[in-house]
Amino acid sequence: MFPWWIRVLFLAFVVFSVWYFARAFALRMALVRKGRPDGRLDRLAYRLLRALVLAITQKPVLRIRWLTGLLHAFIAWGFLVFLTSTLDLMIDLWTGWSLVDHLPAHDLYLSITDLFSLLVSIGVIGLAFRRFVLRPQALQIPKDRPVLVNEHSKRHPQLHSALVLLLIFSLMLTYQLFEAGRILQGTMQGFLPTGQFWAGLLAPAGAWAGAIEKIFWLLHLILVFVFLMFIPNSKHLHLLTGPINVFLKREKPYAYVEPMDLENEENEYFGALQAHDLAQKNLFDTFACIECGRCNDFCPAFAAESALSPKWMIVNTRELLLEEKDSLLKEGKGEKPLVGTVLSEEALWACTTCGACMEVCPMDIEHIPMILEMRRGQMQVEGKFPKELTPAMKGLETQGNPWGVWQGERLKWAEGLEVKTAKELGEAPFLFWVGCAASFDDRAKKVARAMAQILQAAGIEFAVLGEEEKCSGDPARRTGNEYQFYLLATENIELFRQYKVQKILTICPHCYNTFKNEYPDFGGRFEVVHHSEFLQELLQSGRIQLKKPLGQKVTFHDPCYLGRHNGVYDAPREVILKVQPEELVEMPHSRELSFCCGAGGGRMWMEETGKYKVNQLRTREAQETGAQVVGVACPFCMRMLEDGIREIQAENLQVKDIAELVWEAMQG
């Protein structure tokens, strides 16, 4: 047992370390509470189970970068193993009694701990090699693009990581040397390869085995509490906040926007302008970020070398909170504007809201809701938005569509098809929602015609709204124009009720997402189906028959608002495989990891600001598959990819909607 004065000094150090950690952690949580409350305590059992499973299995970090993830997992699993070991060593230091010594599987536990001391060491060495030798772009400050980076983050950017890796490695080394001391004394036995390795090297100093044991025992515990004090001042706070953040994940589509109470005269919130305007979850996100850069790796705007970096937006917000801690804690609000501090105005509007950043984030950080709240603030309070959006916003206000085309043109796509309107029939239990793109874009009109002809061939009674149809409101909501979205949504819901609509079929994933996930907030609850799902159902039931295969190799481009936002991946693929059996090839980025076309988030009506064009990047990826046809299930994707084909002169490619593929196969 250690002398009493060493135990007293150690206890004092432990108390100070815990106090320091608690104080720093409490400060950060106090800053989080200054944000807008957003309850996340529903489905407690599910949330808790999910957080535990993901924390233990490390599935989120293993999913994308499996080798890097495995190295990280070694450290995470070692952390869990050493929790018990550290507690036992502290009890033993104070009382001379060891919990581990009384375990039934004593030798097995010691072997597992020894093994993980080796695995953690391997993990640390591997991650250090990656960070300081390989130096991947995801871990560097971007120098080749106009991304805002907080000045504090620019100072010694790698220092924290180096110190943490050194601390973790030292913890493992001191434990192994402590083991060696006990092995040399004969008080620890079993399969202990690392301890036995060091014991072999230290065998000439066997007379000092007791001193070796106690020195490295005490040093190991001191390093544990040095690490504890360091944690809250670095990204490694995620050891605690990460599982909590996963627990708090919002079970909604990534681009879902909380409704705003526009009818309440006392409502003072119209969007996020400063740090305190953000939701508490958004602020908590900043202290859970591990700065791994996965969000940057999969962000189409970042790939196009625009000013947007999802990673640095989160890091900058964390630094802003700490910079403004005095004003936030004393006055309850920040001082600096978010736009211009955590990201630039250009970066704010570069986001396509595709959801890739949130899909790959191992900590379930919610980048898109944060961006959309800032857009709301810029649009509704500051009146600032890209000039290119002016015609679209004016068109929504005056004509009910972002193209600004007269509503009388709405039904021209259906000339010669004898399509009935809800007004003519008096009701529309089954409504074919055509959407603005298919009503006014000449190329997308062909998709609407193909779908209408398929419905007629299947003997399905349906109606359209024709001149009464207005935009679903998606472009307004994704660009922050909540008031215009509210007007369109409430008017559409009233019209649906008037015509007794029960089921809505749409060829537009953006409308699909809006009707399915956001209209219910305003009382509009209807069955919503995307045409890919409906075509799959028609083919499976035999209500439509195909006469001949397409005869061309097809690759499918997943629309973000159909796939990542709503989980529809199989239906369009099954439709394509019916049309062209065994001729579907996948692009490198597909399904959950699909690459955006570049049109979402209102960018359909904005010019590209990056060095490259998102649609061209995606078109090249499709071209490299060797496919002759890019299958799509979204009119926005169709337009962007057709533009990409023209721009990069990919003459071997053509773009076809799955409805067109089916109709062609039905014609024979």
Domain architecture of the chain: domains with CATH: 4-23+42-140+159-247 (1.20.950), 275-384 (1.10.1060), 397-539 (3.40.50), 546-667 (3.40.50)
pLDDT tens digits, residue range 533-557?
Answer: 999 999 999 899 888 887 889 999 9
**Sorting pLDDT into bands at 50, 70 and 90, what band is 502?**
very high
Q: What is the pLDDT of residue 440?
A: 94
Q: What is the pLDDT of residue 156?
A: 67
pLDDT tens digits, residue range 224-276?
Answer: 999 999 999 888 899 899 999 999 999 899 999 889 888 777 778 899 999 99
What is the 3-state secondary structure of 242-299?
A: HHHHHHCCCCCCCCCCCCCCCCCCCCCCCCCCCHHHCEHHHHHHHCCCCCCCHHHHHC
pLDDT tens digits, residue range 5-15?
Answer: 888 898 999 99
Answer yes or no: is pLDDT of 168 > 80.
yes
Answer yes or no: is pLDDT of 17 > 90.
yes
DSSP SS3 for 160: helix
**Of the candidates 176, 174, 168, 179, the residue with the CA atom closest to the CA atom of residue 226:** 168
Q: What is the pLDDT of residue 569?
A: 96
What proportion of the chain, given as a percentage, has pLDDT over 70?
A: 99
| Contact present, 636 and 644 (Cβ < 8 Å) | no
Answer yes or no: is pLDDT of 420 > 80.
yes
Q: What is the mean pLDDT of residues 625-649?
A: 94
Q: What is the pLDDT of residue 157?
A: 67
Rounded CA separation 584/535 (Å): 17
CA torsion through residues 609, 610, 612, 614, sign = negative
Q: What is the pLDDT of residue 548?
A: 83
Greater pLDDT, 490 or 581: 490
Among 94-103, 399-408, 502-511, the least confident range: 94-103
Give this prediction's pTM: 0.91
pLDDT tens digits, residue range 320-376?
Answer: 999 999 999 998 888 899 999 999 999 999 999 999 999 999 999 999 999 999 999
**Sorting pLDDT into bands at 50, 70 and 90, what band is 313?**
very high
Q: What is the pLDDT of residue 318?
A: 95
Greater pLDDT, 651 or 389: 389
Answer yes or no: is pLDDT of 161 > 70.
yes
Neighbours of 507 (CB within 10 A): 28
Rounded CA separation 95/101 (Å): 13
Rounded CA separation 186/641 (Å): 71
Block residue for tokens 């004090």: 229
Rounded CA separation 597/589 (Å): 12
**Of the candidates 38, 37, 59, 39, the residue with the CA atom closest to the CA atom of residue 50:** 59
pLDDT tens digits, residue range 275-299?
Answer: 999 999 999 999 999 999 999 999 9
Answer yes or no: is pLDDT of 644 > 90.
yes
Mean pLDDT, the chain, integer:
91
**Sorting pLDDT into bands at 50, 70 and 90, what band is 454?**
very high
